Amino acid sequence: MLPPIANRFVAGETSAETIAHVRRLNDRDVKALVNLLGEHYDDRETVAGDVAAYHTLIDDIADDGLEAAVSVKPSQLGLDLGENVFREHLAELVDHAADRGVFVWIDMEDHTTTDVTLDAYEELAREHDGGVGVCVQANLKRTRADVERLAGVPGKVRFVKGAYDEPASIAYTDKADVNRAYRELLEYAFEHFEDGIAVGSHDPAMIDYAIDRHDEHGTPFEIQMLMGVREDAQYDLAEEYEVWQYVPYGDRWKSYFYRRIMERKENLWFAVRAILGR
Ligand code: FAD
């Protein structure tokens, strides 16, 4: 059982609690991207355990007819053990998900993993004619070129600002530059990604910008936000637009929860209040 503060950001330690959360979201017209928490594994047994858990999760989603996808991290599927380990596990998961009609998103980790992640995505997206998506990060200077490459690939792309501290030689480190790059990427994507894109941001200015671009170009889009972050906005937006909530779960929740708490002082205050019982 998760402590009361953590359960704002994490659906539960078990898949049963997570499926129950997804059902509640679906009842309010919000779809779910389910992520089993875990990354940077250096042994095959742990990787195999998470891959098996994703297989079961995909079956649960399909059997229950839920509006949900899964979102996986390359290093959770064994990237630190070798590119081939990651690619084999990802291919296996995407095959299974395709059989069950469930979409698979690939999260993007730090810049050392960008090439292998995009290559794996492109191969599988072409093989399955979609059914798989990948995340790109506006803070990386290379991303514009990556996005131009991905425009012709039959999958889906999630645009985020980027969560990793990257060196200034390859990344924008100033917030204003990242925001400018993000807008430029959205502008390009709404013009060139006819099958649609995902806007992974809580930023009201970026959501408004995306809605504006959608109104002009008619390109389908979905808004993706994290569980526990601007949830009221998620439900409001879902009345008019497609909204997906990123739903983490699993027993490795502590470091994820710590990141959520530390990234905004409002979250820290929320945690303190909950501890004090106010
Ligand atoms: P920020 O630039 O952090 O903030 C802009 C404004 O948004 C704030 O001023 C505020 O108005 C609002 N806001 C932001 N956070 C909050 C909050 N906690 N509470 C209330 N208001 C808030 N990064 C990766 O590198 N790889 C990934 O695969 C990846 N996947 C993601 C998937 C999803 C669904 C989401 C939402 C994010 C993902 N990210 C990923 C993280 C992303 O890169 C950013 O680090 C993160 O979303 C913060 O940027 P932002 O655009 O949300 O807003």
- State the closest ligand 1 atom to the C-alpha of 164, by its place in the atom list counted from 1: 25
Record the tokens describing residue 72, joined without a space: 């996986």
pTM attached to this predicted model: 0.95
Please give the distance, rounded to the nearest whole angstrom, from the Cα atom of residue 248 to the centre of ligand 1.
15
Interaxial angle between packed helices 231-238 and 204-217, expressed in degrees from 0 to 180 and rounded to the nearest 10: 20
How far, in Å, CA of 278 to CA of 276, rounded?
6
Q: Give per-residue pLDDT as tens, 81-133.
A: 999 999 999 999 999 999 999 999 999 999 999 999 999 999 999 999 999 99
Q: Do residues 85 and 47 lie in contact, with contact meaning Cβ atoms separated by under 8 Å?
A: yes
Residue 277 pLDDT class (50, 70, 90 cuts): low
Please give the distance, rounded to the nearest whole angstrom, from the Cα atom of residue 137 to the centre of ligand 1.
11
- 179 has a pLDDT exceeding 80: yes
- State the closest ligand 1 atom to the C-alpha of 182, by its place in the atom list counted from 1: 51
Q: Residues with Cβ within 6 A of ligand 1?
A: 107-108, 135, 137, 160-164, 200-204, 206, 224-226, 229-230, 246, 264
- AA letter at 162: G
Q: What's residue 256's pLDDT? A: 87
β-strand pairing of 30-36 with 242-249: parallel
Catalogue the active-site residues. Answer: 107, 158
Topology classification of domain 4-276: TIM Barrel (3.20.20)
